[in-house]
A = this chain, B = another copy of it.
Amino acid sequence: MTGTAIGIGVGPGDPELMTLKGARILATVPVVAYPAPETGDSLARRIAAAHLPPSATEIAIRMPLSSNRFPVESVYDRAADEISGHLANGRDVAILCEGDPFFYGSFMYLFARLAEHWPVDVVPGVSSLTACAAVSGKPLAALNDVLTVLPATLPDDVLRERLAVTDAAAIIKVGRHLPRVRAVLDDLGLAGHAEYIEHATMADEKHSPLSELEDAKAPYFSMILVHHRGAAWA
């Protein structure tokens, strides 16, 4: 009997936004892997900490600060090898994922390496998308609305084209792209309908209408939600 890799969405940040299923599985799993920075704490582990049994073997998948393609690939290769060793020996491995495993997550890299060889289950989690909507206090989309999720890393013209034709949009990974995104929304006359949210449901959560935001830079975990009509029910 081989083990199963289980991608567990631990939600957007508030440990209470984990699912009952995620918490139950974590309480008994023998091996737990999670993404982590080169040095220091893993956010995903911190969210799930209350449910990790002290006896679990832990695998911190540490990402080098440099974003060159080669080292990142090799980090995932090594992590997949280590996880495969446990699976081959019949041990299930939980892989913690911030938000939801299949919604813009780095879990994809492990999934692509593991799913060919081993059974992989996914426990969905609360995504940053709906967490940010909850924090902003406005419905994301309703009825016949088209909702578009746009990484802020896309070029200005792509952002502009997509924003022009959607009813609602979530611009994710805002980070250093904030001034560019703001300029595009201004151009389209949408800045007044945009809400800015960072670190949704975490202790340092922050949100405001985009028009009232004075910062020129945003953290990676930030999002801008826009609705063409101003509100989903308008």
Contact = CB atoms under 8 A, between A and B. Distances in A.
Interface of A: 9, 11-12, 14-21, 23-24, 100-105, 107-109, 111-112, 115, 120, 122-127, 129-131, 133-134, 137-151, 153-154, 158, 161-162, 165-166, 201, 231-233
A144 B131 CA distance: 21
A163 to B, nearest CB: 11
B138 A102 contact: yes
A108 B165 contact: no
A146 B150 contact: yes
A111 B126 contact: no
A233 B108 contact: yes
Shortest 9 CB-CB contacts between residues of A and residues of B: A16-B21, A122-B134, A102-B133, A100-B130, A147-B149, A124-B134, A124-B130, A102-B139, A112-B233
Contact of A149 (B107, B146, B232): B146
B17 A16 contact: no
Contact of A140 (B102, B120, B130, B146): B102
Given A139-B111, A162-B165, A124 B9 contact: no
A109 to B, nearest CB: 7
Nearest to A170: B147
B21 A17 contact: yes
Contact of A151 (B21, B101, B105, B144): B144
